[in-house]
Chains A and B, each alone.
Chain A
Amino acid sequence: MKSSLVFLLPLILLIACSQSEKEKEKEDPKNLNKAYVVSFTGMDSLKTGMTKAELEKLLGMTIHLKHIGIDEQLTETIEAKFHGQDVSLDLASSSEEAIASLEGVHTKSALFKTIEGIGVGSGKEEIIRAYDQQVLILTEEDMDSTISPPGRSMVITLAKADDIHQSMYFVLVNKKVVGIGLEPTPEFRDRE
């Protein structure tokens, strides 16, 4: 019995170590090889402007609309899985043929990062320094209740320098990113 314990203990320790290493790899923001790139046009192959049909094909699911084309609401949010991660998809009413298209994407997953390595876990100062030459909008308002945790949080919107109508945003709590998303720049949404 004692001899089997002597063999078992190192084995358990080995397994535990390899598990924690895997966790560390997942959390490491520099480990971009395993992250999905977030850009102004989308998250990996999930691109803004995609039609409902294209989305269904990519995600391998049928999207059942509850508002668009049914009542007067022109937008709705769908919860889905992409690369095994939870994502919220903002659909907007589009041409009659397409019915709806992807206007925005949000996720709390740490696997989605910008090319600069910014994602869940990054700090406020890190964002400001990474996008020093870009257009930033910083606000404490709770802009999106679906992604912002309860209470006051901060949102940093990064508008595309040569087309400020397109933007990505970072939701921060205690100066750390807890969510990342894409959407049309809020400042222009009402003007168009």
Chain B
Amino acid sequence: MKKLIIPAIGLIVLIFSGCKDKNVKTASPQITDCIVSQEGIDSLKLDMPKAALEKLLGIKITLKHITVDDHFFDTVQAKYKNMDVRLLLQEGDSLEVAKLSSIMTSSPLCKTSSGIRVGDEKIKIIDSYTANRIYADYEYETYPQRSKTRSTVAVTFPSSEYERRIAIIFYLEKNKMTAVEISNTYEFD
């Protein structure tokens, strides 16, 4: 009898410890980084039609301007993989009502393939894109007065469409990255 008690206790301890581990795993699901590229953020891709976007996000997007009034753009706040994202939709063509024109987030879960994320410095961003045309400037407060602290670094990519330029725009406060936007059109002004 005594011989059986020791293995039985061991078995009980093992079962309980296994249960504990399972509980830990379910309590904190693993969060992975989302990669930012000139195509978009993770599965959120530029030029995505509204219907595909609704399917991906699991929401219904109600347009307030496109096809409603004279404006060609609508802004939508949404959640994507635990991140707050601001989506800009632009009027589509005859096949699509609207398509994704820009994605913006300040989530620290987003990073570029070279590892740039919220908190990184301007010089690191510039040095990561040596083959691209980069525009580093300060945001206008009241034109032509520029902010002393809020700046942007726009890394541009040529597009197949004539004169259209895609950009990853890094927003900075005192030279530290605070947000990122991927836009299907960029014009330096």
Q: What is the CA–CA distance of A110 and B133 in the complex, to the nearest angstrom? A: 26
User: Shortest Cβ distance from B46 into chain A, in angstroms?
Assistant: 23
A162 within 8 A of B: yes
Q: Mark contacts of A125-141 with chain B using CB atoms, 8 A cut-off: 1 yes-contact digit, 0 otherwise.
A: 10011001111111111
Q: Would you call A125 and B136 a contact (CB within 8 A)?
A: no
14 contacts between A and B (CB under 8 A): A128-B123, A132-B175, A133-B138, A136-B134, A136-B135, A136-B136, A138-B126, A138-B134, A139-B133, A140-B133, A159-B137, A161-B146, A162-B144, A187-B188
Residue numbers in B under 8 Å from A139 (CB-CB): 133-134
| Contact partners of B175 in chain A: CB under 8 A | 132
Q: Which residue in A125, A135, A140 is a CB contact (below 8 Å) of B138? A: A135
Contact status B136-A138, CB under 8 Å: yes
B26: Cβ under 8 A from any A Cβ:
no
B123, A125: Cβ atoms under 8 Å? Answer: yes
Q: Verify if B28 is at the interface (C-beta below 8 Å from A).
A: no
**Nearest-neighbor residue (CB-CB) of A141 within chain B:** B133
5 nearest interchain CB pairs? A135-B137, A138-B134, A136-B136, A139-B133, A187-B188
**B interface list, Cβ under 8 A from A:** 122-123, 126, 130-138, 144, 146, 148, 175, 188-189
Q: Which size class do A's interface residues fall under?
A: 20 to 34
| CB atoms of B126 and A128 under 8 A apart | yes
**For residue B131, which residues in chain A have a CB less than 8 angstroms away from its CB?**
140
Residues on the B chain within 8 Å of A140, using CB: 130-133
- Tell me the dominant secondary structure on chain B's binding face: mixed
- Tell me the complex Cα distance, A191–B136, Å: 20
A residues less than 8 Å from B132 (CB atoms):
140
Q: Which of B123, B133, B136 contacts A135 (CB 8 A)?
A: B136
Within 8 Å CB of A163, what residues of B? Answer: 144
Per the bound structure, the CA–CA distance linking A55 and B156 in Å amounts to 39
Contact A137 B134 (CB under 8 A): yes
The answer to whether B148 touches A133, judged by C-beta atoms less than 8 angstroms apart, is yes
B188 pairs with A137, CB closer than 8 A? yes
The answer for the CA separation of A138 and B153 in the assembled complex, in Å, is: 10
What are the residues of chain A within 8 A of B134 when measuring CB–CB? 136-139
Tell me which residues from 155 to 192 in chain A have a Cβ below 8 Å from any Cβ of chain B. 159, 161-164, 187
Q: Measured between alpha carbons, how far is A99 from B79 in the docked complex, in Å?
A: 62
Taking CB atoms, residues of chain B closer than 8 Å to A187 are 188
Q: Which residues of A contact B130 (CB under 8 A)?
A: 140, 154
Determine the chain B residues whose CB is within 8 A of the CB of A134 once the complex forms: 137
Min C-beta distance of B168 to chain A, whole Å: 14
Q: How far is the CB of A154 from chain B (nearest CB, A)?
A: 8
Quick one: given A128-B123, A128-B126, are A136 and B137 in contact (CB under 8 Å)? yes
Distance in Å: Cβ of B53 to nearest Cβ of chain A: 32
Given A125-B123, A133-B148, A161-B146: A138 in contact with B138 (beta carbons within 8 A): no
Interface centre among B122, B137, B138, B189 (most CB of A within 10 A): B137
The interface residues of chain B lying within 8 Å CB-to-CB of A137 are 133-136, 188
A132: B residues at CB distance < 8 A: 122, 175
Closest to A135 in B: B137
How many whole Å from A150's CB to the nearest CB in chain B? 18
Residue-by-residue, is A13-47 near B (CB-CB < 8 Å gives 1, otherwise 0)?
Answer: 00000000000000000000000000000000000
CB distance from A31 to the nearest CB of B (A): 27
**B41 vs chain A, min Cβ distance (A):** 24
